[in-house]
Amino acid sequence: MPSNQCTNSLMELSFAIGNMIGAEQCDVDDWKQLQSSLASWECSDRGKSGDALDAMKGTISGAVRACAGAGGCREADCADLFEDHEVLIQALNIYEPTQIGRGYRGAIPPKIKGAEGLGRSGGLPEQRTAEVRRINARAAAELADKTAEATRRQETAAAAATGTTGRMGYGDEERRERWYPARV
């Protein structure tokens, strides 16, 4: 489990990147904010996480140079930043890719001492595939719900147009006479 300081660094970095992606534009102030966030990095910077951190720093410094140039900020830098962020998060083992969207933290680090075969499997491509599958399943379920709701509304409208409002309604005169005969 990351320390509190590491968690704060990660949250600050992830929040800033999320805002950039959500705004669908990356300006020079955003890039400079990310530079200052990485300057106060308090998580591991060894091994794969160090390599991922260096790649992210390279992307950010390249984007700052590009923003200062005549061409302005590039969209490709935003996409590269998001990819670098995902690689960094995977290298730090913050969450288990098979449990994405469920709020679980990765229980097994990438390399552990112990029995052969224990370890974390999966990477960014598998994570993307699982995420796309989950998004498609959610969209299909929402479409099915909308279709069922539309069908129910059509049946209700048809019943109202014909004067029947369902099994126990009073729109059907024959049924009403059977259950509540007229008094003479």
Count of other CB atoms within 10 angstroms of residue 164 = 15
- For residue 176, is pLDDT > 50? yes
DSSP 117: T
- pLDDT for 164 equals 56
Q: What is the largest CA-CA distance in the chain?
A: 96
- pLDDT for 102 equals 53
CA angle 132, 111, 3 (to 5 degrees): 80
pTM exceeds 0.75, yes or no: no
Q: For 3-56, what is each residue's pLDDT tens digit?
A: 566 777 888 888 888 888 777 777 788 888 888 888 888 887 888 888 999 999
- pLDDT for 108 equals 46
Q: Work out the pLDDT band at 143, boundaries 50, 70, 90.
A: very high
The CA distances from residue 11 to 20, 80, 107, 145, in Å, are 14, 19, 19, 35
Residue type, 149: E
Instruction: Find the mean pLDDT for residues 75-101.
Output: 77
- The lowest-confidence range among 48-52, 55-59, 158-162 is 158-162
